[in-house]
Amino acid sequence: MATSVEVKDKRRTGNKRFVSGVVEGFYGRPWTMEQRTELFKREQKWGLNTYLYAPKDDYKHRMYWRDLYCPEEAGQLIALISAAKQHNIDFIYAISPGLDITFSNRKEVTALKRKLDQVRDFGCSSFSLLFDDIETEMCPADKQAFSSFAHAQVAITNEVYQHLGEPETFLFCPTDYCAAFCTPNVSQSSYLHTVGDKLLPGIDVLWTGPKVVSHKISVKSIEEVSSVLKRAPVIWDNIHANDYDPQRIFMGPFKDRPTELLPKLRGVLTNPNCEFHPNFVAIHTLATWCKACSNGAPRDVEMGDEEQDPYYSPQKALILALTDWLQVFLSTDQPTACSKKESCDEEPMQTDLGEGSYVPEPGENPLYTAEPLTLEDLKLLSDLFYLPYEHGSTARTMLHQLDWLKRHSQTAKTAEWCSRAQHFDDMCEAVVRMFNRLSNAPNRSILYDLYNYICDIKSGVNMAQAYIKSLGGLGKPSAQLMSGDLEPWSFRGGLSGEFQRMLPGHGNRDLFKHPPKTAVFCIRPYCPEDQMEVQKIFMTMQRERQIQVPSLTQPRLISDMLSTGDISPTPQCALVLEDELGVCGYMLALTDTKAAAANIQGDMNHSAFEDFPSLVTGQVLPRVSDPSPGKRMIEQLLSAIKSSGSRGVFCELRHSERRMLDFYAKLGSFNPIKMAGLPQDVIAMGTSL
């Protein structure tokens, strides 16, 4: 008998039930047959109904798609399909012929049909053709036969669908399977329009949302793609997929897909983490989401909170999932780890009881007893490995605290600094405790799937903890942590890590890139003797950016004139930055720019000077990759300018001065301002004081 959920699902999408479940569609090691069978059990228990078999690196699914299964493989697939049936799960067999198929060759079409016929004979009745992640350029033979790539794919898909007797479930994955891949966009994509117009109406289309890994999927975006496809899509959701980054795994809840989507979709399949066991949360929370609207009355939601879904709370769904998962963690999966009583029963001949159960004598080591894992541990685990675009709340707090402690570490440690450092330390300790309890949990399979990730986070946290201790004067100074004959775990990430650190935007997030021994800076007032050094830095930076060095006698900008020494900065309004190698940066200001401007930039809009009478210019050599000394200099300078009675400050920046542009933008207070008369490649940014 159909359940009420099914009745409702069928109403939603005509006659067919809403497709919900899992797609094994990731790159890398496929799941085992046992894991898949376990998945069917769980799906059934949680009310999901579908499994799409599409492991990218299974030989005969993609690379050798033409090859038939050998008897041994056949036996395994037959067993799997029958296990799915037993658990009421629709087993969809997918094939990806797109790497090398010639669509116009009849032999190829026959090979495809033969392969799918074989799987049909195994008892499978639902199928899927996938054309994701393939070359979009057709071979000359196909170009002759088909007017476009979409026409070729649709023709073969329709033919196979009809050959198989128009199965109730038949899915097609387009090559442009997300909005980001559509040219020029979804509504004008000729590829998607061909699919929408020509694909037979009984075939459903897979869609990953705005992107491959979609942060959010909005109702509007689904309405748009549905109208082009002329059918509601089945979401192939990569929100929990982790095959693109070996350091990440996702154990946060299914999120940022409003339940309002449910009636607008044909289904949702999640393509989760490569590791089977850590997908408990991904699949459990998806199931909660799918049940959302059938659970009756909407939840109470605070008025005005547009982000809140009245039918689904990711946070509550997460707790439900973690509570169930805890039980699995606590149950043993090791046949060898049976209780002492059982082992005695199995070996009745054993008489030496002393050996069977060791009891330490007084004064000897007590027996090791593992602390049991708690729900709090699992919440923390999920927070640390949350979602692709979001850390969990504890992780956010840790990052926030660490950032604050770093930024406020150069002054004398206040009570606030110490209390925050203590809080940070406590959070690090909680991670270590969680690691220990997880390592001792009876279910070893889950642990083994998680092991690399939890080891990695533990050592990351340990390093941060040691660093904060050293800043607070406790433990080894961080310079020492970095010196000497280091162990290999100090060079985390191997070659790939090195590449990443050499690219912009990565290095400056690393804690120890600039160990304090080289990061001792001194900011002092500028004196006339510094002029040569300042000019040298200015010229170096100009050359770096391949800007023609302006003629020393006729600089184009007032800033240039200040840097080259043609104008002197206002006394008390100039600073230099020094490190152990010498002067490595400067910040110079004119409190009254008007007079200087009149001489060299006659047609400048003087009205801007009313709001921004002062000018500041500065450079910091690239060897100072930490932005904080620069920030500190400008803070000091702005306060000096303010005390001179000025209302505002501006700076002149060339478009090629990316680093300085970025520096001012990140300060937050400087904004672009209009200042007529500046050369085209120069923008002005100003701040009121």
Q: How far is the CB of 269 from ligand GDL (least distance, A)?
A: 10
Please compute Rg for the chain using Cα positions: 32
What is the CB neighbour count within 10 angstroms for residue 34? 11
Helix (H, G, I), strand (E, B) or coil at 650: strand
In the chain, the N- to C-terminal Cα span, in Å, equals 73
Please give the biggest Cα pair distance in the chain. Answer: 107
Q: How far is the CB of 84 from ligand GDL (least distance, A)?
A: 21
Q: How far is the CB of 248 from ligand GDL (least distance, A)?
A: 11
For residues 181 and 435, which CB has a smaller minimum distance to ligand GDL in the complex? 181
For residues 270 and 687, which CB has a smaller minimum distance to ligand GDL in the complex? 270
Pairing status of strand 90-95 against strand 574-579: unpaired
Q: How far is the CB of 128 from ligand GDL (least distance, A)?
A: 11
Sheet strand arrangement including 614-620: 522-525, 574-579, 582-590, 614-620, 648-654, 682-688, 671-673
Helix (H) or strand (E) holding 120: helix 106-121
Residues that bind ligand GDL (CB under 6 A): 25-27, 56, 132-133, 173, 177, 208, 212, 236, 238, 241, 243-244, 271
Identified catalytic residue from 58, 133, 425, 566: 133
**CA–CA separation, 279 vs 254, rounded Å?**
11
Q: Which contacts qualify for 483-490: CB closer than 8 Å, 24 or more apart?
A: 483/515, 483/517, 489/459
Q: How far is the CB of 28 from ligand GDL (least distance, A)?
A: 9
Closest CA to 404 of 431, 391, 423: 423
For residues 56 and 654, which CB has a smaller minimum distance to ligand GDL in the complex? 56
Burial 634-643, CB ≥16 within 10 A → b, else e:
beebbebbbe
For residues 58 and 626, which CB has a smaller minimum distance to ligand GDL in the complex? 58
What is the CB neighbour count within 10 angstroms for residue 187? 13
How many residues in the chain? Answer: 689
Q: How far is the CB of 58 from ligand GDL (least distance, A)?
A: 12
* Angle (nearest 5°) at CA 22 between 16 and 23: 100
Q: How far is the CB of 208 from ligand GDL (least distance, A)?
A: 5
For residues 56 and 277, which CB has a smaller minimum distance to ligand GDL in the complex? 56
Strands (E), 113-220: 126-130, 170-173, 204-207
**CA–CA separation, 221 vs 287, rounded Å?**
22
Q: Is 67 a catalytic residue?
A: no
Q: How far is the CB of 22 from ligand GDL (least distance, A)?
A: 12
Q: How far is the CB of 374 from ligand GDL (least distance, A)?
A: 32
For residues 205 and 405, which CB has a smaller minimum distance to ligand GDL in the complex? 205
Q: How far is the CB of 266 from ligand GDL (least distance, A)?
A: 16
Asked if 165 and 204 touch (Cβ cutoff 8 Å), the reply is no
Q: How far is the CB of 207 from ligand GDL (least distance, A)?
A: 9
Asked if 138 and 182 touch (Cβ cutoff 8 Å), the reply is no
- Structure tokens, 614: 């002062």
Asked if 114 and 108 touch (Cβ cutoff 8 Å), the reply is no
Q: How far is the CB of 132 from ligand GDL (least distance, A)?
A: 4
What is the CB neighbour count within 10 angstroms for residue 87? 17
What is the CB neighbour count within 10 angstroms for residue 317? 22
For residues 270 and 619, which CB has a smaller minimum distance to ligand GDL in the complex? 270
Asked if 276 and 39 touch (Cβ cutoff 8 Å), the reply is yes
For residues 13 and 238, which CB has a smaller minimum distance to ligand GDL in the complex? 238
Helix (H) or strand (E) holding 495: helix 494-502
Closest CA to 497 of 240, 246, 249: 246
For residues 40 and 177, which CB has a smaller minimum distance to ligand GDL in the complex? 177
- Compute the Cα dihedral for 397, 400, 403, 405 and give only its sign: negative
For residues 78 and 134, which CB has a smaller minimum distance to ligand GDL in the complex? 134
What is the CB neighbour count within 10 angstroms for residue 354? 8
Burial 540-560, CB ≥16 within 10 A → b, else e:
ebbeeeeeeebeeeebbbbbb
Asked if 51 and 88 touch (Cβ cutoff 8 Å), the reply is no
Quickly list H helices, 293-443. 314-330, 340-346, 353-356, 375-384, 393-407, 415-439
For residues 238 and 401, which CB has a smaller minimum distance to ligand GDL in the complex? 238
Any idea which residues carry the catalytic annotation? 133
